[in-house]
Structure 1
Amino acid sequence: MTTPGDGASAAPAALPSVSARTLLPVVVPALAVGVGCSLLFLAISAVAERLEDVWWKDLPGALGIGGYSSLWMIAVLTLTGVLVGLVVWKAPGHAGPDPATLGLGESEPLRAHVVPGLLVANVLMLAGGPSLGPENPIIAANAALAFWLGTRAVPKAPGRMWVPLATAATLGALFGTPVAAALVVSEALAGKPLPVKGSLWDNLFGPLLAAAAGALTTTLLASPSFDLGLPPFGKPGWDDLLAAVVLACLAAALGMLAVCLFPYVHRAFGQLRHPMLMLPLGGLVLGLLGALGGHLTLFKGLHEVGELAADPDGWSAGRFAVMAVVKLAALVIAASCGFRGGRIFPAVFIGAAFGLCAHALVPAVNPSVSVSAGVLGMLLAITRQGWISLFTAAVLVASPAILALMCIASLPAWLLVTGRPQMQLKQDGSSLR
């Protein structure tokens, strides 16, 4: 038998409290990092959009040809591969390590001299049309700059705090809300020793403040919105739950097919051994895929998915299926051949096209449910980030009821992807698990 004293001694020790005096010194650095990361993200986005207009509107207009004709898409994507290849070949630091080996946020910051080449490569990629987003390079660049500037401006501050602040700030800027950053940071801290000897909220204080500053700066200057304007979704029924579970699992299975092919495609491009061969060839293949799938399958996909959602009944099921498969193939090619970019936004397009294909096949399936479930399953497979997948799937539809469905649908979909190869490679070319 145990005595009251025995029970008391067996109770887990309470976490030590953290005083406000410990957290207050983080406020100014977090705010500065948040605003700075957002401004750099907005600047890169603005430059890329202007260059995109030149390549895809001004030049074709001056030449009197269609901006999205097959030959023009092939030419621009191939040229983009050549230009990015030159940057990767000649820029100091070669625009960072092989992007196939990097996740959404790495613990070790890049050297500062690598950042200019990485940003130039990312701008060229965003403007030229490969199917990648800005998130990985801009997070890496912001983390490197925050670490380099922070350790010099505040030498007494712990160096390990700058990378989480920059990562959270950039996520806040990308999504226009600090919620996504809080979810990603909390997931990253799971199972690891906490940097601050206190509660989870003590450890989230700085990153959440940086994310809020980044999100507010982006919102004030750019007014981002992820709401796709899909038909309103009211009270869910059993048929909605069944559709959400089935579609999330099918989308996850489709995404896992690409994940399993990823190391083989990467190895094939790696046989060329030079960025001036790998990237132009990758650009050519992406141009051919763009000619097959149409211009909506180009670029990072966030604006393009809005066009799909604006008219859920505007394309046939076959056309939606072609766009989903072509975009998925383009994502694998772009991530394998060396283009610097992230995979979240292209995965959103793929999942949305997959969901709209299901709605076209079975019109009784609510398009809001099908799109959210498709995005959820695809993101789980491609990113292996549970919280960010759930958050993104829910935020696309302005309905609180969709969140409960997605929470349930995420569970069987997660069983399909957990413990399996990830869309990230080790240095030897094998998949992480």
Structure 2
Amino acid sequence: MACRSTGLTAKGVAAAKHPGGITRPVRVGDGGGLYLQITAGGSKSWLFRYRLKGRDREMGLGGADPDGRFGGVTLAEAREKAAEARRMLRDGHDPLDQRDAAKASQEAQEAADVVSVRTFQSVTESMLAERESGWSNPKHRAQWETTLRSYAFPHLGEKDVRTIDTEDVLSVLRPIWPKTPETASRLRGRIEAVLDFAKVRGWRQEENPARWRGHLAEVLPKPQRVKRVEHRPSLPWRDMPVFMQALADRTGVAVQALAFVILTTARTGEVRLARWQEIDWKEAVWTVPAERMKAKRRHRVPLCAAALEILRSAQRDAKGHDSLIFPSPTRGKVPLSDMTLSAVVRRMNEDAGGTQPRWRDVEGRAVVPHGFRSTFRDWAGETRQDGRDVAEAALAHVVRNKAEAAYARSDLLEKRRVLMEAWAEWCLSKPQQPDTGGPVPT
């Protein structure tokens, strides 16, 4: 191997080249066992050569970087490393062995640090696994996991359980406490249970920031005293198969439009004004233009098989590529009115007879078309693990947090496609026993 010994300079390191004519590397000595090694391809690196116990050894010191602009090792840094290696040799230590030992120690420490960091999500999964044999039924376990995954994981999932404090818990609870106090109260109890589990296992030492008595009770109103935000009456999600079966017994454009509203989770105005030119049959996507969206942003809707079937049926009466999909049956080119869609549900309640509406929410109010969006959200939150972002994107909800919005560029179309097929499968499944407080089959 070619080698010549001379003192180096930074400019000399930059200018040094392989002489050519040979394929093996050449070395330029700086003195004291330090060499600049140059390959036939032109790459440069630092090498420290020494002899110990009758053996010649070589230790790489990193890629050469003359002026330190590219993250490599400068001449001055290489000399410092070589000087440190010579000090080890004077003390009777092998520099290579010392470096290997230091690297192994660092890797062991990093591995220990990784193990010691227990995220809220990993602790939740550990707790659910350990309780596997104790659940009264699989649905109860699924409800626990789905609730935590939908509401807690977006805020706490990646947080070390040792660092979760009261403000972290409140960041999860405050947005839903006034809207769905019962769900929020259950969620609080489940977060408390996860953090208690972490403390028992020795993964957390502090007091539980999710405890109610003497803590959160001082800053949050009691769930039973919360004045709920007045939402549109929505059908309990467990009653959807019964409702869809009853809807299927009816005919007409308004019935088709309402079924389409339910299966796409779109707003009624978006459906009433939908036109054939917005449908991409090949991709099974309905694109709602920005001017018709509440957020004034174009929205792509993945069409499940059942929604496509409704469109095929409606297409028989289509008047042209730019015509309305669900026009008024009495006024031709005029779109259906919101009242027409509401009338479908109203007549379904009237035809059922009785003093109580058959199709009602948990408070006994007659449901309205817009409420089916809430029904879908409750179903997704209770039964699916697709994640909050996917369900919110299906509803075309705007990301409120500006920092999150800056990174939320995808509309999650393919993930939403899976979610919407599952929603349609549930809606069109064999009817089950209605939920308590919901409609009673007649």
Q: TM-score, normalised by structure 2?
A: 0.25
The structure that is helix-richer by fraction is: 1
Q: TM-score, normalised by structure 1?
A: 0.26
The structure that is strand-richer by fraction is: 2
Between 1 and 2, higher relative CO (CA 8 Å, sep ≥ 6) is seen in 1
* Structure label with greater radius of gyration: 2
